[in-house]
Amino acid sequence: MENQNTHTDSSADAADTSGEASKKLWYVLKVQSNREKSIRESILRRIKLEGMEEYFGQIHIPTEKVVETKGGQRRVREQKTLPGYMMIEMELTDESWHLVRSTSGVGDFTGAAGKPLPMGQKEVRRWLGLGEDEKDEEKAAGKDLRPVVKFSVEAGEQVKVKEGPFQGFEGVVDTLDETTGKLKVIMEIIGRSTEVELDHWQVEKI
């Protein structure tokens, strides 16, 4: 199993985590694609309806923030990094297993030989956006995460600068930085091959 510019879609109030947290482990759940949020809400409703909050913690849909530019307008949207999957924190009992598995849209837990396999601690922290530092708890709520820029061009492609001081110049994309949204273009200026750093929205594919 993210990328680490992964944004958290988890619910701190999904269930009471003040119980015996040591018994709660994280599992990966296979669900119907494009229904992740509605399935998550269904599980949360059933937990409350059946009074089983003590067996459940957070339910997390791994997402990342993607920056797109269309028609000169810059917008940030959330994109699922693992379509068809979600993470669920729970104490595994016959009752809690049945509640989750009998929810419409839920496939099965990932595991071996039909037995749900809990995630490792490092893997959990990675997909919650916590990194290696135990002090980074705010990131679990999706804070302090940089969006990932979605480029309309790729390295090696011929592009034309449409805005800025180099408007009208053409060149070849050398490198892309998804975190900053900048790219480096090799273009000929005054007879010399020159590397120019531009923002992703300043260029277009030829």
Half-sphere exposure of 63 (CA within 13 A, CB side): 20
> pLDDT tier at 142 (50, 70, 90 boundaries)?
very low
Domains of the chain, each with CATH number or no CATH: 6-148 (3.30.70.940), 151-205 (2.30.30.30)
Residue-wise pLDDT for 165-194, tens only, equals: 888 899 999 998 877 788 999 998 877 888
DSSP structure class, residue 37: H
Question: How confident is the model at residue 151, as a pLDDT?
Answer: 79
> Distance between CA atoms of 147 and 64, rounded to whole angstroms?
7
Q: Which residues pair with 160 in a beta bridge?
A: 170, 204
**Which residues neighbour 43 within 8 Å (Cβ) at sequence distance 6 or greater?**
59, 88, 99, 100, 103, 106
> pLDDT tier at 144 (50, 70, 90 boundaries)?
very low
Residue-wise pLDDT for 32-75, tens only, equals: 989 999 999 999 999 999 999 999 999 999 887 777 766 667 77
